[in-house]
């Protein structure tokens, strides 16, 4: 059984790591890994292969950056002839990026069954490129593997037949549980001259936050107050760095004594830093999930989330981008009133095992 696994970004690599490991346990499965090149610099991609023991890609399309339309189209054009040549039994895509949608569309056009890992998540905000990618990928996929029960309900409402939906847990958590101890042993707080449980971690990359100067300014206004109470470590995404530079906000951030601007971190470094933080502020979906398992308060700087289980059961709180709301949420954490959470159903490190077993049974 030849399975083509398509990745393109850093979150894709975290999710595919456990799946590739599981597939290699079976002699009857031939996993092929294709990297589209959507993320292509060392800290955004290459280091993740090394840290997570992911085999080097069998093929790298080298697409690079561009608009959503251009990038999706280029991936599709490069992928079509390769899939014709490989003639796989299954195309497997993960997450919600442009590479996910492109892989699914090419697979279905060529009559190849498509599996979507992390299906059914919905923010119900069609202004988010990721939401469009999720909805369209799920509409054409043959096997839809979900991380939480709300995703199953979303798919049913959209008319997806029950026999295509499989609640299996979260492969991102598989990877986190496997590498958590190794990440903790790196002693990251010491490296950055901060004390465990006495610093915050900030990440920003969503267009709705970093492409809107007033929104970005408001978030930084809140952060300028927060860093007076404890250090804030801010690994800066390349997209965010570009926007900070264009808007003139970069110089301002550099004047804040306890806002530490960092280069993008590798997976182990970031997990090790996040696991010992007082709290996390983010607009990332994956970090909402990881912080829940690490039992770290997560303040999500968005008006919506496609991962409601992290709020219902986890440590996540949706606080939006208003400086007043952000500061109020930080105040609750600092005063010992942080939200308590618990481990969501099936987030037990066995999602990849369930997925591979289901695919074996279905495709035979």
At residue 65, the pLDDT reads 82
Q: For 71-111, give the secondary structure using H, E and C.
A: HHHHHHHHHHHHHHHHCCCEEEEECCCHHHHHHHHHHHHCC
| Measured CA distances, 313 to 105, 148, 152, 158 (Å) | 34, 11, 17, 25
Report the mean per-residue pLDDT for the chain.
95
Copy the structure tokens of residue 7: 């990745």
Q: Please say whether the beta carbons of 120 and 155 come within 8 A.
A: yes
Q: Which CATH superfamily is domain 179-334 in?
A: Glycogen Phosphorylase B; (3.40.50.2000)
- Cα(129)–Cα(113) distance, integer angstroms: 24
Active-site pick, 24, 39, 87, 205: 205
CA distance 72 to 198: 42
**Residue 62: burial class (beta carbons within 10 Å; 0-12, 13-18, 19+):** exposed
68 is annotated as an active-site residue: no
**Would 2-170+347-363 and 179-334 be classified into the same CATH topology?**
yes
Banded model confidence at residue 362, pLDDT cuts 50, 70, 90? confident
Residue 45 has what pLDDT?
67
Using pLDDT thresholds of 50, 70 and 90, give the confidence band for residue 5. Answer: very high
Q: What is the pTM of this model?
A: 0.96
What are the b/e assignments for 331-356, b being 16+ CB within 10 Å? Answer: ebbeeeebeebeebebbebbbbbbbb
Which pLDDT score, from 0 to 100, does residue 203 have?
98
Band of pLDDT at residue 64, cut at 50, 70 and 90: confident
Lowest mean pLDDT among 10-24, 38-52, 216-230, 338-352: 38-52
The label of the residue with tokens 């860093």 reads: 227
Residue 42 has pLDDT above 80, yes or no: no
Q: CA gyration radius for the chain?
A: 20
* Residue pLDDT, tens place only, 171-215: 999 999 999 999 999 999 999 999 999 999 999 999 999 999 999
> Which of 196 and 40 is assigned the larger pLDDT?
196
pLDDT of residue 111: 98
CATH for the 2-170+347-363 domain, from 2.60.40.10, 3.50.50.60, 3.40.50.2000, 3.30.420.130: 3.40.50.2000
pLDDT tens figures, 68-121: 999 999 999 999 999 999 999 999 999 999 999 999 999 999 999 999 999 999
Share of the chain above pLDDT 70, in %: 98
Instruction: Please name which of 42, 35, 93, 25 lies closest in space to residue 59, comparing C-alpha atoms.
Output: 35
Between 161 and 48, the higher pLDDT residue: 161
pLDDT of residue 38: 76
In the prediction, which pLDDT does 297 show?
98
- Which among 61, 84, 291 is positioned nearest to 176, based on CA atoms? 291
Domain boundaries, the chain: 2-170+347-363, 179-334
Q: Which of 35-49, 169-183, 300-314 is predicted least confidently? A: 35-49
């Amino acid at each position: 059984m030849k399975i083509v696994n398509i990745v393109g970004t850093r979150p894709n690599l975290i999710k595919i790591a456990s799946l590739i490991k599981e597939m290699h346990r079976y002699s009857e499965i031939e996993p092929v890994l294709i990297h589209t090149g959507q993320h292509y610099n060392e800290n955004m991609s290459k280091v993740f292969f090394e840290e997570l023991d992911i085999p080097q890609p069998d093929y790298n399309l080298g697409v690079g950056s561009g608009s959503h339309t251009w990038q999706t189209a280029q991936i599709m054009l490069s992928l079509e002839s390769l899939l014709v040549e490989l003639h796989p039994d299954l195309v497997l895509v993960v997450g919600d990026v442009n590479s996910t949608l492109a892989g699914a569309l090419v697979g279905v056009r060529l009559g190849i069954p498509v599996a979507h890992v992390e299906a059914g998540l919905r923010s119900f905000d069609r202004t988010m490129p990721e939401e469009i990618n999720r909805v369209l990928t799920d509409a054409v996929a043959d096997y839809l593997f979900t991380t939480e029960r709300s995703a199953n309900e979303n798919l049913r409402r959209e008319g997806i037949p029950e026999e295509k939906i499989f609640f299996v847990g979260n492969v991102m958590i598989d990877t986190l549980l496997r590498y958590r101890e190794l990440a903790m042993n790196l002693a990251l707080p010491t490296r950055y001259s901060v004390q465990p449980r006495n610093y915050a971690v900030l990440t920003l990359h969503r267009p709705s936050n970093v492409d809107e100067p007033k929104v970005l300014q408001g978030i930084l206004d809140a952060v300028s107050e927060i860093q007076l109470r404890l250090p804030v470590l801010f690994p800066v995404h390349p997209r965010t760095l570009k926007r900070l530079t264009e808007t003139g906000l970069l110089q301002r951030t550099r004047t804040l004594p306890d806002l530490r601007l960092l280069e993008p971190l590798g997976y182990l470094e970031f997990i090790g830093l996040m696991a010992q933080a007082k709290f996390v502020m983010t607009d990332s979906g994956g970090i909402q999930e990881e912080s829940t398992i690490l039992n770290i308060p997560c303040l999500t700087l968005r008006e919506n989330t496609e991962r409601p289980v992290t709020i219902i059961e986890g440590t996540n709180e949706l606080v939006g981008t208003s400086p007043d709301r952000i500061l109020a949420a930080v105040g609750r954490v600092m005063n010992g009133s942080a939200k308590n959470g618990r481990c969501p159903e099936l987030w037990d490190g066995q999602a990849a095992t369930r997925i591979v077993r289901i695919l074996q049974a279905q495709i035979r």
